[in-house]
A = this chain, B = another copy of it.
């Protein structure tokens, strides 16, 4: 049983101590968990560490959480989401069925959240992080050459101190002795510490022969001695930068002394079992124990990433002293167990944009028990810290000329501005570009198809995968390529419709209508064909349309046009690669000079890392968050009209994409 399993089942147990326990076994994983009688199968699965699809958050609406009861007593509510045939086969909806005896459950492939190994996601973060390399040494990339270097002052700094032992002449208290030595080494005005440190200080100082390491953290302008350790542990000080997305969570292990990134791990946000988007989860949070569950699940996910990173790099959890998180507003609230209810109620206010820095342990994050947890600030209910971090990483807040940041996650957030002003908006893009809600979608990970070419003559498909492994699915950048290539090869209409009468076996009728086979089963790393379905295409077009429309309207709202923009940064968890040209072909990006575009990868993670490594950068995020003005697009009367226009490839108003017309010979 893994730690998180323990946690979840303990949690359930705690809430129903006196109820009879049932053992539930999930196949094909063969995972077992004891839960109180009456627990629904979806929750039992989460407790067991089995992740079942559920985009509606267990409301019985989406019908994605189909499972088969093989043995035992289960009581299900009636549902229209299951066919007669399915009911005969023993199918039930996991969210609507409660357990009343020991049971065995089969989770069919279609209901499973992709079982992914946690793999390194190499993003362009590294390049941006190069900003720290050496004072004065500036990277060459156009997009960052004007950026200033942030000072090196991590969330938590270790300082080795040789305290002069007290004598009759120098008999100030232990605490003052500590402060005096800290102030001798660093120019900092106020130093404080907690009672826990004072309690252990007397003995610790003497037993360590007055050689100690102080862990210092800055909070609200004062410096806190967070922790005191015997001897010199200053060489080992590590931090974690986390991007908490609605669909994926990415954590990065950073050496706080050298500023080097040691490793990056990503995984699904397990909250997905409680709903695909933030709205569903906010609704879920209103249920009994809903907030508690959402909180625990996201904390478990972060802990798992930290645990894997630390194990792999042979770092003890006690050597990890700080965690810096960037997430959207809902994620920040849920991470800290703050009720997100008011985010979705008019007038849509967060409980806090600027969350207090706390001990990580207070939120259940497992690092050094006295280590710190900081959440970067957000702007509004729908523009969170992930975007503020992105602005920090891209530096558009420091540019003289007009720049735009487009961050593609489950929502597509857009920021426009320069050093004088910043406006931002959010559009519901959906998680298609994150590999979620699309048949063969995966995140940017080993084996994910990231580049595609389709021969317009014979429809043969050339592709390359991350790490060169056998393909296991398609990630966001792969989908952009696929859409562009399908259009170019004439497999799909500009409306996205797959043409039926093509001379290729790759176009075929599947369960959900027409689909195009990109990789045959024999070449696939899974045991299935890798396909893109008509439903996938519709999904992807909606996503790209939502983003383009938002960018377009945001520019117009400020009396500008997209062509006035000097630089457009594209961010998102696409991995290392994103084809700008093809993004323009499908109308995700406007048809401007290609030199204006730069793909900067996971800028939320990059920003979190900057802030983790620099108090100056952290303070900068506060400035940015205060400077950004949120604009609500959905209330704009032209929105629906514009959006409908963008549901074509590249757009109904094809005149907006002159170079694409030419290159793809569109009409």
Contact = CB atoms under 8 A, between A and B. Distances in A.
A283 interface: no
Contacts of A337: 199
Interface stretch (A60-68, A351-359, A610-618): A351-359
Copies, count: 2
B220 A176 contact: no
Nearest to A202: B351
Contacts of A338: 195, 198-199, 202
Given A190-B221, A195-B362, A221-B222, A352 B167 contact: no
Given A346-B168, A362-B195, A339 B203 contact: yes
Interface string A186-219: 0000101111001101110010000000000001
A167 B632 CA distance: 14
A524 B222 CA distance: 60
Contacts of A363: 195
A252 interface: no
A171 interface: yes
Nearest to A206: B342
Given A166-B347, A206-B342, A352 B198 contact: yes
A387 to B, nearest CB: 16
Contacts of A171: 347-349, 380
A346 B203 CA distance: 15
Interface in A169-186: 170-177
Nearest to A373: B195
B351 A173 contact: yes
Contacts of A219: 192
A363 B198 CA distance: 13
Contacts of A354: 173, 175-176
A336 interface: yes
Contacts of A190: 220-221
A356 B194 contact: yes
A616 B168 CA distance: 32
Nearest to A176: B353
A264 interface: no
A350 interface: yes
A341 interface: yes
A172 B166 CA distance: 51
Contacts of A347: 166-168, 170-171
A350 B173 contact: yes
A373 to B, nearest CB: 10
B222 A174 contact: no
A342 B174 contact: yes
Interface string A48-78: 0000000000000000000000000000000
Contacts of A349: 166, 171-174, 177
A358 B196 CA distance: 10
Contact of A352 (B173, B346, B352): B173
14 contacts: A166-B347, A168-B346, A172-B349, A173-B352, A174-B342, A174-B350, A175-B352, A175-B354, A176-B354, A195-B362, A198-B352, A199-B336, A199-B337, A222-B222
Given A166-B347, A192-B219, 13 more contacts: A168-B348, A170-B347, A171-B347, A173-B349, A173-B351, A175-B352, A176-B352, A190-B220, A194-B356, A195-B362, A198-B336, A198-B355, A201-B352
6 smallest beta-carbon distances between A and B, as pairs? A175-B352, A173-B350, A202-B351, A173-B353, A168-B347, A166-B349
